[in-house]
Chain A
């Protein structure tokens, strides 16, 4: 068996190497294009070997550096608080649902399913968040609505049922542990791989989120990073599509704007933190993929 694997090793290495290149090269291209000059992009298109280099894309984006820093703070807040809240509340619910001897478990399970299958729609969601909870222009709107995820709750419940032995819970109870103690001291530590995997996915989701910010946040100082960068990109697109309504200054600004390299610089700014964080979560992520497949 070992010999067979060893003889296939070079082929596997080549195949995996090609797959890695397929994944990595576009990222490298993005970085290179962000440092390419407009003339080079115009004459040669996107290439790994630009005829001339330039920082103009980054310089253009850096005009918004103050706003970008502010938006980074907002996005980090959304990612950290949103993820922690989701993990905390969802895992609590999942633990409660995993107790089959609790009388509310069947009712809450069906209640959960209904909310997953039937949505009230965007308008009702908007009315509830703005008129009932008054979350318009409030940073809580970025973290509260996602604090309970039904899908993640079902995964966590399955994980607890299949990985935490009933005998362990019984033993803890016999030692005098209450539900809260049990949850924080026994269940949560055992859920670490599951929490890390789902937490990472939730963090990526929060990091990339812009729709909520766009709909509910009007104060520019509270705009998330994705929203800000989308606005920078879109405002240029918008101006290009509406040239007939532009002033001289606007047209001049458009002429000098390095649109392609700027786009790539924006991509680098948004991708960077996730690319850096990913390797640290990778081991949990792989475990997490199999979490939902275990039957409980």
Chain B
């Protein structure tokens, strides 16, 4: 009896292990999908822009790309992938793709770096962003496509504004194609139109320092003032700094529009002191929430028309319309920093890896994302009728609540936003207003300068810790002796290596200006 039970346990154990292993497992050495032979490819007139399609040779060998998409929100990967591969534009290029989406919140950089180190199939990376993207560009993970852009894919090169290319140009080479989205932005609050009318407020020509009358009106009306919790109060710092300063990595290394060749620490300037003194005065007068240090969020106030105070928003065209439409309230715009033309928002790059077998065709594929609306819309929104409806040329998710986000990733991160469908709620002119809006913006003289922090990582982390300790505290006005605290903050930052950071930034900025 005992023997039999032991045998039974052994069999169960083995079955569990084998069963577990069989549950959806399989070698990752998946055969690449059968690719149609070049003779099978239909020569269908597609909507690829003439300048590039003319140059695409008539009979192309089939090629299969593994496309990584950063911070992708969508589901139904395989369904969209299949539909995507059925697009005439891709067939014309004789390209098939396999999407590898990385959900928002996953450690995309770590996953991608490991995959690249292991020589996994990674041909194209969409939406690569930030310092890690530049590190990959510098260390040879991505191919230099400047020659292809100049000679063959001129349509792609000309689609973007010249300044957009500066961020991805390293030592003369171009290592990515930045997504084309709006390029100017400013700090802004939205305030109830009823408050503006009731108190006869003039919201024009304001800065972050000129808000006292607005705050008093809000308080008098029984509303919240700044709807920024403690950890978000640095928004006021940003709004103030953007008036005269240009951020070079962090505000501790900034330049000014007056003198863009000299690196300064923003926290030692009169601008910072002035803001801190102003917020202190507001705090003392009850114009900043007295429980700012402990308040978890302003959700209740934000959703109540009678309590709603200043809603902060980054004042670019997209998010402004999105915010206003989403709130469902009559909101007036209160701009608190100048329009700054920036390419910061264009830092989502489409890159081709150096291990890609056909870099030429990969660039041709990327060109489609910037010039062909069918391709761009499908990778952004998924399949019409399955993931969204098209109502008067605008994307409507009403019938698809589970897909109420873009299929792959936010519209602004892949390809050319200007050729995509705008979501319902945007003005009829769609994205055409972008260009006009950007024309008024002030252009940063240091556009294209990217600080290489690899030699000063430790110092930056140490100084960052001091910044975190003091900035919000000073920006929300809870500190009694403002000047002494600012001095203490700066001294601590110097004790932790600020001078080394400034010197290194200055050295790099000098070299950049010299090469310009």
Contacts and interface: CB of A to CB of B under 8 A. Distances in A.
Interface of A: 38-39, 41-43, 45-46, 63, 73-74, 77, 80-81, 84-85, 88, 122-123, 126-127, 130-131, 134-140, 143, 184, 214-215, 218-222, 230-231, 233-235, 237-239, 242-253, 255, 259-260
A238 B71 CA distance: 9
A260 B296 CA distance: 9
A235 B74 CA distance: 11
Contacts of B13: 84, 88
Interface stretch (B114-122, B214-222, B361-369): B114-122
Interface residues of B, number: 65
A255 B326 contact: yes
Contacts of B397: 249
Contact of A247 (B20, B75, B313, B411): B411
Q: Considering residues A123, A126, A221, A245, which has the most beta carbons from chain B within 10 angstroms of its beta carbon?
A: A245
B23 A218 contact: no
Contact of A139 (B25, B103, B107, B117): B25
Contacts of A255: 299, 302-303, 326
A43 B405 contact: no
A231 B106 contact: yes
A215 B17 contact: no
A207 to B, nearest CB: 15
A122 B406 CA distance: 33
Nearest to B388: A249
Contact of A238 (B105, B299, B303): B105
A126 B119 CA distance: 11
28 contacts: A42-B298, A45-B296, A73-B23, A74-B23, A84-B17, A123-B117, A127-B117, A138-B27, A214-B107, A221-B24, A231-B104, A231-B105, A234-B106, A239-B104, A244-B185, A244-B319, A246-B410, A247-B322, A247-B423, A248-B322, A248-B326, A248-B424, A250-B406, A251-B322, A251-B326, A255-B299, A260-B296, A260-B297
Q: Could you tell me the dominant secondary structure of chain B's interface residues?
A: mixed
Interface of B: 6, 13, 16-17, 20-21, 23-29, 71, 73, 75, 77, 100, 103-107, 110-111, 114, 117-120, 185, 294, 296-303, 313-314, 316, 318-319, 321-323, 325-326, 345, 395, 397, 402, 404-406, 410-413, 423-426
Q: Could you tell me the dominant secondary structure of chain A's interface residues?
A: helix
B140 to A, nearest CB: 16
A251 B29 CA distance: 40
Nearest to A250: B405
Contacts of A250: 322, 404-406, 410
A134 B104 contact: no
Given A143-B20, A253-B405, 14 more contacts: A136-B28, A136-B120, A137-B25, A138-B26, A140-B20, A231-B103, A231-B104, A231-B106, A243-B323, A248-B423, A249-B423, A250-B404, A255-B326, A259-B297
Contact of B118 (A38, A131, A184, A253): A131
B103 A235 contact: yes
Contacts of B77: 220
Contacts of B325: 248
Given A127-B118, A230-B105, A248-B322, A77 B28 contact: no
Given A127-B118, A247-B322, A41 B296 contact: yes
Contacts of A38: 299-300
A137 B21 CA distance: 11
A237 B103 CA distance: 12
B396 to A, nearest CB: 9
B296 A139 contact: no
A77 B114 contact: no
A140 B73 CA distance: 27
Contacts of A243: 313-314, 319, 323
Contacts of B20: 77, 80-81, 139-140, 143
The 5 A-B residue pairs with the shortest CB-CB distance, nearest first, are A234-B105, A136-B28, A244-B314, A249-B404, A238-B104
A80 B16 contact: yes
Contacts of B402: 63
A45 B105 CA distance: 26
A81 B16 contact: yes
B300 A42 contact: yes
A83 B316 CA distance: 52
Nearest to B424: A248
Contacts of B117: 123, 126-127
Contacts of B301: 42
A131 B29 CA distance: 9
Nearest to A185: B6
B405 A247 contact: yes
